[in-house]
Structure formats: C-alpha cells, structure tokens
Structure 1
Amino acid sequence: MHTVAVLALDSVIPFDLSTPVEVFGRARLPGGAPAYRVVICGARTEVDAGVFTLRPPWGLDALAEADTIVLPGCADPTAPVPGDVLGALRRAAASGTRIASICSGAFVLAATGLLDGLRATTHWAAAATLAERHPEVEVDPGVLYVDNGQFLTSAGAAAGLDLCLHLVRLDHGSAVAADAARLSVMPLEREGGQAQFIAHDPPPAPRGATFESLLSWLHDNTDRVLTLDDIAAEAGMSTRTLNRRFREQTGTTPLQWLLRARIRRAQHLLEATTAPVDTIAGQVGFGSPTAFRERFKRVVGTSPHSYRSTFQRASGA
C-alpha cells in the first residue's frame, strides 16, 4: 500500500496538517479498500501546533519507508529547519520518494536544496520572502500548485486540497480522486478550470548528470516527432540502457519527459501567441491535432482553447 508520511514540525499549521490526513486517509479504491496508509511523523516526541500540542506516533525514521512525504506549512516559515529533518528529507529524495509541500511548507522543502532550479509556489503572502531567501528557486505566486514530478508545491489553504486530490488522481485515476473529492465536499476541478494553472514542467536531471546534454537536445527538439530509437541514437546507447539510466537520473522515461516538455511548450505558446491550436500541435511535435487535444486535456485538465481563453481573461483582469 502507498504510504503517505505527513511531517509535523513546531508551529505546524493545523489546517495544513489535517488536509493530507483527511484526503489520503479517506481515499478508497474501487473495491472499498484504503488507497493509502497515512502516518504523522515528527522530529520530536511533542510538537507545538499553536492551539494544541501534538505527539506524533512516528519519528523521522518513518520518512525512509514512505512513498510520499507531505510537508504542511508552519506559522513561522523563516524558522530554521533542524538538520536531522533536512538530512532525512534529502535521503528520502535520493531514494526516489515523492515530496509535496502545502503553503509555507515550501520553505522546508526549499531549505533542503531540492527545489533549486525548479519552479515552486507557496502562499501568496509568503512568496516574496521565499524568493528572497531561496533565489535558486523560481517562485511563481500566481499558481495553485506546481508539479515537477518528484517535488510538488502548493499555495495556501484550499490549494493544499487541490494538490492532494491531484496526487490521488495521479496514483489511482480520476474515479478514485472524484470520490475523494466528494468526501471532502470539494470539486475535483474547481469551477474555472483550476487544473490549467498547474505548471507541468519536465523533471530536470541532477547536477552533473550524464543526461544534461540529452535533456537540452530534447528540449530544443520538441517540434520533432521523435521515437525512443531516435533518442537512444542521440544518446549513443541502446533503448534498454537509455530507459534504465534515464529513469535513475530523472525518475521518469525519456518519452514521458519529452511529453511533459511538449505540453509545457504548448502552454507557453497558447499563453504568448495567437497561433491556431492545430498549428501549435505541430510546433510541439504532435502529428495529429486530435491527439494533441486529447493529450493536453489529459495532462492539463482542460482543452487548449479553454486554457488560452482563461489565461487571456486572467491577463486582462
């Protein structure tokens, strides 16, 4: 079973703490079995949560066994993060664990260095502070949440619900996520197509990774129809070796990485140009406009036309 570890630090915001506990704890698979095992971890036996004191049943060791770690926000996001917490999170990330933050929990994640070079978000009121304290992070205060693959961040309060439901949908599909949304008395996609504001950036390779040049080549060739054989030839290795090593360094496959890069490029073109959707489909490597529309909606949660219309409304607001 997929284990979600929620890390409670001093001054944890109770709402942020309860959001993943409720969403993941209530999620059920089609047969009725729990979709997740949820554990609350702490660096100490007692955690000051402001209006109450929390005694987490698990310590930091439990993070090593988690499939997903959630970092709730803290009332004082600028407070130093204990070294043992940073170490535990870095080790979990190195083993491939997915880490998501809610609200000012992004400060904890940023303190590990794992967000360096990535886009991230947090509560709008704390965005400037996050950008100032962590200039290596590309802080975007205008989105509900950012999905970088292994590392995800969300804005404040209700955006944590959006993020958790997004994770349920990634893990178990729309039907399970829709049921979790109903239990939370929350639409799976809030009116206005909130899913379109997710930044679907492809995961980067770690610093010094052998695939840095290949990722740059892929990024520069999103307009081409590329096969796995094409990518393997560029990398100078067999498709089997490419898939294995690529996943080791990026956490995904070459074709999935390329797909995310294409969708992100399409989002930019929809935002910044007036080119027809069919033209953009070809510019991001889709041979069929229909296939592009279907894939875009599956990834972004709305159609290319709706995405463009909503962005233009937001720009003119």
Structure 2
Amino acid sequence: MPLRIVPLRLPGLARARLIKSAQLNSELELFHDHSTGAGLIQIKALPDFIGADEEDLKADMAVLYELAELNSFDVFSLRNSLRDLKIDVRHTTDLTLSPTMEARLTDYMKSFTRPLVVNVFGANTDNVSNSGQIIEMFTNVDRKVALKNMQKIAAMMNITVADIPDFLEKYGDIYLSLSYFRRCLDEIVPKFDQLTDWMDEMRGTMLRENHQLMERCEAVRGGLNELLGSVTGRFESFDRNSQSFWDNISMESFQKLHALIISHHETIGGVLCGLTVKLDAWETKFPHHTGSPHKRAEFVQSDLAPGLDKLLKLEHSAPSTIM
C-alpha cells in the first residue's frame, strides 16, 4: 500500500509503502531495489529512522498502526476498510485499478458482462469486457435506439431511465472486483500445487523420522487446502447468486447481490493476500523450487506456518453467501 494515498503529516513517508510479510505482519518498506533489496522496518522503529516533530510523528504512527491491522491492501478491501477507519484518501483515483490491470482482467469480465449485453441488446459479447463499454453501447448509438434499450433495461429492473447509469456503474464495479480476486485465486492454485509437492519431497529424506515436523507440514498443508477450498466455494456461490439475479431480475435482487459481494471484499482480499505473500516468499527464496531438506523445513516453520491460523480465522468469519 503506497502511503502517498493517505493523509499523513510527514512528507518523507509518502515515498514508503506498507507491506505484508510472509508471517502476515505489516511492515514499512522505506525503499525497494532489485539489486540492494528492500529496506523494511517495524512501525515502532520509525522514530529511529526519521527525524521529525514529535507530535507529527506520533500522529502518523497512530494512523500507521491502524492501517497495519488491515488484512489486505488491495483497492477493493481498502475502500471499505479506510471508510470504517474514517481515513480519507488523497484522490478518488487512488482506489481504482490501473488501466493495465483492467486490461488483464478482460477475459474474466466477459463472463459477467455477457448476461447484461445479451438480455438488453441480444448482441455478441466478444468485444465487451467492462461496464464502460456497456455504457457506450447505451449512449454512442442512434438516440432512438439508445432510448429503446434504456427503457428495456429500466422495465426489466423496475427503475427509471435516470437510475440506469448508477446501476451500470455498480454492476461493473462489483464484477470488476470479483474478476480481480478470481484472477488472484487462479494464479495461486498452480503455485500451491507446486508448493505442496515441494513439501512432500521432505518425506523421502531423513526428516521423515522427525514426526513433529511431519505433523507440522501436514497441518500447514491441511490449512492451505481448507483456505483454497473455502474461497473457491465462495466464488462458486457468487456465480449461482449472479445467475439467480438474472433469472429473477429486479433492483431489489441486484441490491442484495451488490451488498453480498461487497460484504465479502475484506475477507476474500485478506485470505488471498495472505496466501499470495506466502507463495511469493517461497518463490523468492527457492526460485528453482530446490533447497535442502533442512532449508525446506526451516521455511515451513518460519514463513508458511506463522499467521496461517489468522487466515483460517478470517476465512471462518466470512459472511454467509446466501442472499
């Protein structure tokens, strides 16, 4: 999370970031360079690195401690979390995905834009990937055709034509968030399979006699499996709820769907964030997926196991997926 987006008093902090470690602790990253590595410090150590007015430093550290408790720093989770903390961002664009990231989500978005385009326009969706393009389909055509299409969706939703832009914006936003999180999940799954195979290789070494270690590895594997299975189940439920909305379309059903998905942002974001940083730490330390048995055992205990119980607790706290 780049600290430039939040209103801190010390200008020097605008160049820093708040990041999650593999142990799921929040740390300040003062600099990051591919050749020299990252300069990470704990928030409590900030006074030793920055000479500043004591009152300003105390005020900023109070904000940083609040931010450090957040489970994820993705834009969708932050929208809810920062609002709850009554922390404003400097610019509204700070909590939006970049055009580059949106472009990478095109294939994911198509599955969500297809029902709307087909129901309203009866058109092919191959060239439609986001809500902005849908809005253009309503506006950048012949006025009579545009009005006819807007009246059609208004009748379907039992709303006025004036309500359509707000509906389309919310529709696009919730499915953009789902596309983003689903892409994260799809990137995690193959890495997880490789990681578990890598851990299993320890069973073929002298460490197999270390029953405590083997139990620890099995607990880590079981915890990771439970997290992936549960999150995957939530996405499947979102798909069913989306289909249910189109089978019984109304503004009321959409508002329920909208509220449901937003209520899951923080827990899904937190779990996927935790899994991602752990897998990234593994690939950073073992880029070729090698390593001695003892190095592997050390990594399981120092990086994979810490914080796993916190992720499971977070996943268990997720709201119901029943609308």
Q: Is TM > 0.5 for Structure 1 vs Structure 2?
A: no
Higher helix share: 2
Per the normalisation by structure 2, the TM-score is 0.24
Higher RCO, 1 vs 2 (CA within 8 Å, ≥6 residues apart): 2
Per the normalisation by structure 1, the TM-score is 0.25
Higher strand share: 1
The structure with more radius of gyration: 2
